[in-house]
Structure 1
Amino acid sequence: MQWNLLVIEDDKALSDGIRLALQDAQHRIVQVETLHAGKCCLEKMIETSGRGEQERIDLVILDLNLPDGNGLELLQWIRERLALPVIILTANDLEIDIVTGLESGADDYITKPFSLMVLRARVRARLRNMQGARPMENGQEQSIQIGPFSFAFDKMEYRKNGENLVLSRTEQKLLRILVENRGKTIPKERLLDQIWADGGEFVEDNALFVAIKRLREKLEDRSSSPEYIKNVYGIGYMWQETDRDSSEDRTWSGSGS
């Protein structure tokens, strides 16, 4: 399988360097220099449902300081429509910049200057994670029903009360670990290791806190008083089974049944 990577970077020399570092038989690089051009590529993918090899985008590398605006605007647009991994690559290196980028939905945040080898390793780690979904059983996609939720992890489809939920790659991985171990406390260290397996620079408790906060905002009726994603003080987090989640609700089903 060939992966298509969209690089949105207005520094042509840097963009070309990224292309040289990443492009090979398994990785095709699409280079654009503006938010508008990047959005056009993604809109074309949406229009064709990603069926065309040339239109499909698997990962976005996004600069923030672009000629026609702030990359965070496009990141927000992506998060409202697509479950694509997005790596921010920027000179904005203040702590508040990093936190803002991650809270806005970025899966990784790399500051300039940077190592092309490190960038390549992080990109490949993200793509490996995309391949790491649990295989189908009996040729059928699995989904799980819990109370108001329907989660089809392999198909990356998430719903609450029938309404689609848009989750980042990080949020999807976090949700899957919690749901598949519901009722059990997952230590913070295990979550950090499993979700950020690439050993990124900013993998710390704050990154996990941000991911938990964003996931609660999307799933919980009141994120300030969560019903499902519970903090186990000093240890980690768990998916709490509630009275509404009867055994009849917690069922696995194949898409072909």
Structure 2
Amino acid sequence: MINILIVEDNIALSDGIVIALKQEGYTFFQSFNINSARREMKMNDLDLILLDINLPDGNGLVLLKEIRDKISTPIIIITANDMETDIVMGLELGADDYITKPFSLMVLRARVNTQLRRVLNVPKKIIIDDFLFNFETMEFSKYKQNIELSKTEQKLLKILLENKGTTLSRQTLSDKIWTDSADYVDANALSVTIKRLRDKLEDNPSKPQYIKTIYGIGYMWVVR
């Protein structure tokens, strides 16, 4: 069962999204303001959130930050704001993707399916050797000792685990981590994030056993 929360104050558009995405196994919760969305999130385990920025009782970006401080559920921003600053801010706060109004429901469906594939492909709790990674509660540990990961480090780890044993190019990783804001990211950002993640996960970061560099190409989470 896939649970999707739609936070959109335009009732007709919200209903249209439900119709466009509806299929067996999907359950939809519709909220038309921030307060209603908060209630739905307390009552339901969600697999995806579609979040409008302009809501009658506040800015959706505030809600986005609240969500990201608690859970890693995929979030797609749906907004009439197509200014680059709004898009970049949403992505930096932890949104996984965005789509601007007016938009094609077919395009929205494709973007939703992309995010849901990530949810389905990666279990919420992963145990590898002495690691425990829980992407739902954003709790990570090694040798039963908690590890604090930034939002960007979590994204990188999740992508690597989704593709265990597969070499991912630097460009592919950058595109997936920073989505469409990659042009605004320093070229060295990926190298810095890889180093920080290794420092936190590897016994010997200078000789990594899990996050391997494939020289001239990119990186891989090694299947052991």
TM-score by length of 2: 0.72
Structure number with higher helix proportion: 2
Q: How many residues align?
A: 201
Give the match for residue 142 of structure 1. Answer: 127
Give the match for residue 53 of structure 2. Answer: 64
SS in 2 for 1:81: coil
**Of residues 89, 97, 105 in structure 2, which corresponds to 1:116?**
105
Paired AA for residue 245 in structure 1 = D
Paired AA for residue 133 in structure 2 = A
The alignment-based identity, stated in percent, is: 42
- What's the offset of the Cα at 1:133? 2.4
Cα separation, partners in 2 of 1:165 and 1:71, compared to 1, 3 Å: farther
Check conservation: 2:5, 2:49, Cα contact below 8 A.
yes
Partners of 1:27 and 1:177 in 2: how far apart?
Answer: 24
Paired AA for residue 175 in structure 1 = L
Cα separation, partners in 2 of 1:189 and 1:204, compared to 1, 3 Å: farther
Structure 1 gaps, min length 5:
45-54, 197-201, 217-225, 231-237, 253-257
Check conservation: 1:142, 1:154, Cα contact below 8 A.
no
- What's the offset of the Cα at 1:245? 2.5
- The Cα offsets for residues 194-251 of structure 1, whole Å up to 9 and x where unpaired, read as x37xxxxx636337x38x96x99xxxxxxxxx5x634xxxxxxx96569x8349xx89
SS in 2 for 1:203: helix
Give the match for residue 28 of structure 2. Answer: 29
Give the match for residue 85 of structure 1. Answer: 74
Give the match for residue 172 of structure 2. Answer: 190
Check conservation: 1:83, 1:167, Cα contact below 8 A.
no
**Correspondence list, 1:207-222, <5 A:** 209=185
Check conservation: 1:62, 1:89, Cα contact below 8 A.
yes
Q: CA RMSD in A?
A: 4.0
SS in 2 for 1:6: strand
SS in 1 for 2:69: helix
Give the match for residue 213 of structure 2. Answer: none
Partners of 2:56 and 2:90 in 1: how far apart?
Answer: 19
Partners of 1:176 and 1:56 in 2: how far apart?
Answer: 20
TM-score by length of 1: 0.63
Cα separation, partners in 2 of 1:57 and 1:109, compared to 1, 3 Å: same
SS in 2 for 1:190: helix
Partners of 1:132 and 1:123 in 2: how far apart?
Answer: 14
SS in 2 for 1:96: helix
Cα separation, partners in 2 of 1:43 and 1:240, compared to 1, 3 Å: closer
Structure 2 gaps, min length 5:
211-224
- What's the offset of the Cα at 1:26? 2.4
- What's the offset of the Cα at 1:83? 1.4
**Of residues 203, 206, 214 in structure 1, which corresponds to 2:180?**
203
Check conservation: 2:6, 2:49, Cα contact below 8 A.
yes
Check conservation: 2:33, 2:57, Cα contact below 8 A.
yes
